[in-house]
A and B are shown apart, each in its own frame.
Chain A
Amino acid sequence: DVKVTQSSRYLVKRTGEKVFLECVQDMDHENMFWYRQDPGLGLRLIYFSYDVKMKEKGDIPEGYSVSREKKERFSLILESASTNQTSMYLCASSLSMGQGGEKLFFGSGTQLSVL
């Protein structure tokens, strides 16, 4: 089974801190995604990557950046955390973007609180 591992299940940070959320997948998937999940808003795409060192903005990239130096690892970076970035962050990977009907494999999420 594909495993997508997010480094932290819960994280508490201070406003203005630089925050790194790490995600590692073990199935040699080309594509990786970062979603943000908020009550009543569902999952919204922040960034995605279809290859090493490649990245594309999703629907809500403001305030975030990403890094993909190795195929298996996709990091989400909050340059200067703000309280409105308190949320659950879900990482996912897949063989294709979705047009092939490939399912996404998800990590178990990081609940980030910014105080």
Chain B
Amino acid sequence: AQTVTQSQPEMSVQEAETVTLSCTYDTSESDYYLFWYKQPPSRQMILVIRQEAYKQQNATENRFSVNFQKAAKSFSLKISDSQLGDAAMYFCAYAGNTPLVFGKGTRLSVIA
């Protein structure tokens, strides 16, 4: 079974600084997708970024980018120019031939 590991339960970052959230996964599949979801205090899950495993190029969405290392099964999220609105729970997730599998989450605090 696929597993997703987020080793940082909590992190903090100064406003305008850069922070990287870690995620590793385990799978025997060759074709899959990886996601980062954000859950602010409103509880609404928001898709931040998506990576297709067969694409070598790292996905980018404005201030959010990923470092996808397929051989190492690593999928970290970098948030640049952090803003107060980035404070939330962040979940890494894996999608292969089964429904989405989530990590345990990283709570990000942004310090003004």
Give A contacts to B, CB under 8 Å: 31, 33, 35, 40-45, 48, 58, 88, 90, 92, 97-99, 101, 103-104, 106, 108-109
On whether A42 and B105 interact (CB within 8 A), knowing A108-B42, A108-B43, the answer reads yes
User: CA separation between A90 and B43, bound complex, in Å?
Assistant: 9
* In the complex, chain B residues 89-104 whose Cβ is within 8 Å of any chain A Cβ: 91, 95-104
B99 touches A101 (CB 8 A): no
Measured between C-beta atoms, what is the minimum distance from B48 to chain A in Å? Answer: 10
* Interface residue B111 (Cβ < 8 Å from any Cβ of A): no
On whether A98 and B33 interact (CB within 8 A), knowing A58-B99, A103-B50, the answer reads yes
On whether A101 and B33 interact (CB within 8 A), knowing A41-B104, A43-B102, the answer reads yes
On whether A40 and B9 interact (CB within 8 A), knowing A58-B99, A98-B100, A104-B100, the answer reads yes
B103 touches A103 (CB 8 A): no
B100 / chain A contacts, CB cutoff of 8 Å:
33, 45, 98, 104
Q: Name the prevailing secondary structure of the B interface residues.
A: loop
**In chain B, what residue has the closest Cβ to A111?**
B43
Measured between C-beta atoms, what is the minimum distance from A19 to chain B in Å? Answer: 19
A43 touches B33 (CB 8 A): no
* Interface residue B45 (Cβ < 8 Å from any Cβ of A): yes
From the candidates B44, B45, B103, B104, name the one contacting A104 in the complex (CB within 8 A).
B45
**In chain B, what residue has the closest Cβ to A44?**
B102
A88 / chain B contacts, CB cutoff of 8 Å:
43
A90 / chain B contacts, CB cutoff of 8 Å:
45
From the candidates A98, A106, A109, name the one contacting B98 in the complex (CB within 8 A).
A98
**In chain A, what residue has the closest Cβ to B104?**
A42
A42 touches B103 (CB 8 A): yes
